[in-house]
Amino acid sequence: MGRYRQLILVLAFLCVLLIVAEVFGLRDHFSVKLLHQRLIENPVSGLALFVLLFALGNLIQIPGWIFLAAAVLAFGRTWGGLATYCAATISCAITFITVRLIGGDAIRQLKSPLATRLINRLDAHPIRNVVILRTIFQTLAALNYALALSGVRFRDYMTGTLIGLPLPIAAYCLLFDYVFDLTHIT
């Protein structure tokens, strides 16, 4: 039971966050329309709020595309993409640090052949593997939690994150810009 203690703590933390978000209606603040409105009303404080909401949203499993769509709608594909890239990297760092503080390297401590094999593969090329995972899964909260609990070094995590996020963000920026032009959403 002792080796599962950290995983249970992380699961309890996630459950508490989700319950608090539900009870206080925090999830209602994570819509493209509301985020877009905040960014348009005051770009400076709206951007700071955007970063904070992105970090909180990442912790409570809100998809990153919602933030990207709002930023592209508010600032266009180039500046919206850059704003999202900055917010996403800060969000990933906050999630990693928070989960690592609570759960340590709990996955690394598991006595499971699957966990051992996955950790060994991650350790063989940590930056490359984080880049690949980021390119495929972007800021998926479950990925952030898993990587934090894997014991991967923060430096490798952030390097892989910084390299792996631009391509999917750019692709989504083009997609959202196209959809907004096609549907005349402004």
What pLDDT digit, counting tens, does each position of 144-170 carry? 999 999 999 999 999 999 999 999 999
User: For position 103, what pLDDT does the model report?
Assistant: 95
Confidence at 2, pLDDT banded by 50, 70, 90: low
| pLDDT band at residue 111 using 50, 70 and 90 as cut-offs | confident
Show Cβ contacts of residue 87 under 8 Å, excluding neighbours closer than 6 positions: 50, 51, 54, 55, 67, 71
Max Cα distance, the chain (Å):
56
Nearby residues of 106 by Cβ (< 8 Å), 6 or more positions away? 3, 4, 6, 7, 10, 149
| Ranges 11-20, 96-105, 142-151: which has the least confidence | 11-20
Sign of CA dihedral 120, 123, 126, 130: positive
Angle at 92 between CA 89 and CA 94, to 5 degrees: 110
Whether the per-residue pLDDT at 185 is higher than 90: the answer is no
| Residue 135 and residue 168 in contact, taking contact as beta carbons nearer than 8 Å | yes
pLDDT reported for residue 77:
92
Residue 1: pLDDT band by 50, 70, 90 thresholds? Answer: low
Work out the percent of the chain whose per-residue pLDDT is above 90. Answer: 62
Matching residue, tokens 């539900």: 22
Percent of the chain at pLDDT > 70 equals 98
Question: Phi and psi for 125 in degrees, rounded to 5?
Answer: -150, 70
Position with higher pLDDT, 185 vs 72: 72
Q: Is the pLDDT of residue 115 over 80?
A: yes
Q: Which residues contact 135 (CB under 8 A, 6 or more apart)?
A: 164, 167, 168
